[in-house]
């Protein structure tokens, strides 16, 4: 197979009204979707059940591995219900009330966060409706904030509120989140994304629930505010993967800082071998239009060049008019940019285990011998993670596992193409089986040069080894 046909960067696509059907899920999988995202801010339990069932059915039908990511809603601050939308103009006054306070202001709206008045200071800026409406806090009294409207906007019910730079007392997991986690465990989803993760302890709380239930889901920490960035290294240490959630992050942080923050997160994750996803607004204009903007093309290209593990589509595939076109465009951009090289942050990788160091030696051998394939065997995912960590640009990585629960978790890793295979007691037989499977899939041919990381028996015990072999 021509290595130009292989895409190393993975694509995550969000399911929604535009793509929930069995037929569309199959078309998306064939178009390049590696992982399907289910957004629990909108999905109902019955829809989640149907989506997971359809995804598993499609994966079996077409013979591809598709991961399932459940994205928790998280502890969002929102405005309450309004009988009619408020038409706000600069200079207007509006009261934000909590705990059922009734305001005498002409414009007022309740907020679901009881500690709002305690946490915020006079002079602070409150951003409403994804940053579309700016309010400046003038005074605080009892259970309400008196604010001045700075930007024109129409305020409807249940609009999201951001408080840039303010440390809020929201719980890491809401009651809804915990119920959704239980549903995810029941359905066997592969990843659970934790929204508004602010510190390592937040991740550990979710992991404690999974450990108690003896569940195997991997935790993706979504970084969405300034506090999360301050605690970046600690969060990377405990999370299984990181998501650069640029929607809220772009509101919570100064605009000009966002590209620098993204690069810092991706570089830190690649250096430490932690999968990282770049998400939100990547092809936003294609929700309505059949072609991306030039800025969007460049944005996707930058994420691929930085060698993040995955790029994500949100509204583009959940409610957009051109979900399959979005996948096609992302696939084309990723393949082309990968051929041009990358940021090579992995050159500074901190190889902290013997397994990682062995994979580094294997990737060097694969590069020096122009190997057609790098084969690894894994039961827990460590070998696959280490192989991906080094970002070998010119050698496809094929990961074989006998662990059915691990298999759909492997697609999150850059460059990994996963396969299910029963392992024999003889490591050499495993290599032969893997080569035969790859030949049947037409991924390698006779005469191909392969490098495999496996085990051999030496004096009655198994030791890890790197072998090179020419396919017969």
Q: Looking at the annotation, which residues are catalytic? A: 37, 78, 222, 280
Q: Give bridge partners of residue 242 from the DSSP assignment.
A: 221, 276
* Residues contacting residue 179 through CB under 8 Å, at least 6 positions apart: none
Residue partners of 376: CB distance under 8 A and separation at least 6: 359, 362, 383, 384, 386, 387, 397, 398, 399, 400, 452, 453
Q: 292, 299 in Cβ contact below 8 A?
A: no
Q: Find out whether 103 and 95 touch, Cβ atoms under 8 Å.
A: yes
Alpha carbons 299 and 311: distance in angstroms, whole number: 11
63: which DSSP letter?
T
| Torsion sign, CA atoms 161, 167, 170, 172 | positive
* Other Cβ atoms closer than 10 A to 114: 12
d(C-alpha 77, C-alpha 98), whole Å? 11
Query: Which SS3 state, helix, strand or coil, does residue 155 take?
Result: strand
Helix axis angle for 22-31 and 45-62, nearest 10°, is 50
């Amino acid at each position: 197979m021509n290595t130009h046909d292989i895409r190393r960067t993975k694509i995550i696509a969000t399911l929604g009204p535009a793509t929930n059907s069995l037929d569309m899920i199959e078309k998306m999988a064939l178009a390049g979707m590696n992982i399907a995202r289910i957004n629990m801010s909108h999905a109902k339990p019955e829809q989640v059940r149907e989506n997971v069932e359809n995804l598993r059915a499609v994966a079996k039908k077409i013979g591809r591995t598709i991961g399932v990511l459940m994205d928790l809603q998280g502890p969002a601050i929102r405005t309450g219900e309004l009988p009619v939308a408020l038409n706000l103009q600069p200079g207007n006054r509006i009261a934000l009330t909590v705990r059922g306070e009734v305001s005498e202001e002409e414009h007022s709206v309740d907020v679901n966060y009881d500690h709002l008045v305690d946490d915020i200071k006079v002079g602070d800026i409150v951003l409403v409706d994804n940053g579309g409406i700016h309010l400046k806090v003038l005074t605080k009294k009892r259970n309400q904030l008196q604010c001045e409207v700075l930007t024109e906007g129409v305020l409807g019910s249940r609009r999201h509120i951001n408080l840039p730079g303010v440390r809020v007392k929201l719980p890491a997991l809401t009651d809804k989140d915990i119920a959704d986690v239980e549903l995810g465990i029941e359905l066997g989803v592969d990843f659970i994304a934790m929204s508004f993760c602010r510190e390592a302890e937040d991740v550990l709380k979710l992991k404690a629930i999974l450990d108690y239930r003896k569940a195997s889901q991997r935790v993706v920490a979504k970084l969405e505010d300034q506090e999360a960035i301050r605690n970046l290294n600690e969060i990377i240490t405990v999370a299984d993967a990181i998501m650069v959630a640029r929607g809220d992050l772009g509101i919570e942080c100064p605009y000009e800082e966002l590209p620098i923050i993204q690069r810092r997160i991706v570089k830190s994750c690649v250096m430490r071998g932690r999968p990282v996803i770049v998400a939100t607004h990547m092809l936003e204009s294609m929700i309505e239009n059949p072609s991306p903007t030039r800025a969007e093309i460049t944005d996707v290209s930058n994420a691929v060049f930085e060698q993040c593990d995955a790029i994500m589509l949100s509204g583009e595939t959940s409610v957009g008019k051109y979900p399959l076109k979005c996948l096609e465009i992302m696939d084309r951009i990723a393949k082309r940019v990968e051929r041009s090289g990358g940021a090579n942050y992995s050159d500074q990788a901190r190889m902290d285990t013997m397994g990682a160091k062995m994979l580094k030696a294997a990737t060097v051998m694969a590069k020096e011998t122009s190997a057609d394939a790098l084969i690894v065997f894994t039961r827990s995912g460590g070998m696959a993670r280490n192989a991906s960590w080094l970002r070998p640009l010119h050698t496809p990585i094929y990961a074989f596992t006998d662990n059915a629960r691990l298999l759909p978790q492997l697609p999150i890793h850059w460059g990994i193409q996963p396969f299910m295979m029963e392992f024999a007691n003889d490591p050499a037989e495993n290599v032969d089986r893997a080569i035969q499977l790859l030949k049947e899939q037409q991924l390698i041919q006779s005469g191909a040069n392969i490098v495999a990381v496996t085990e051999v028996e030496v004096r009655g015990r198994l030791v890890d080894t790197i072998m090179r072999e020419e396919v017969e």
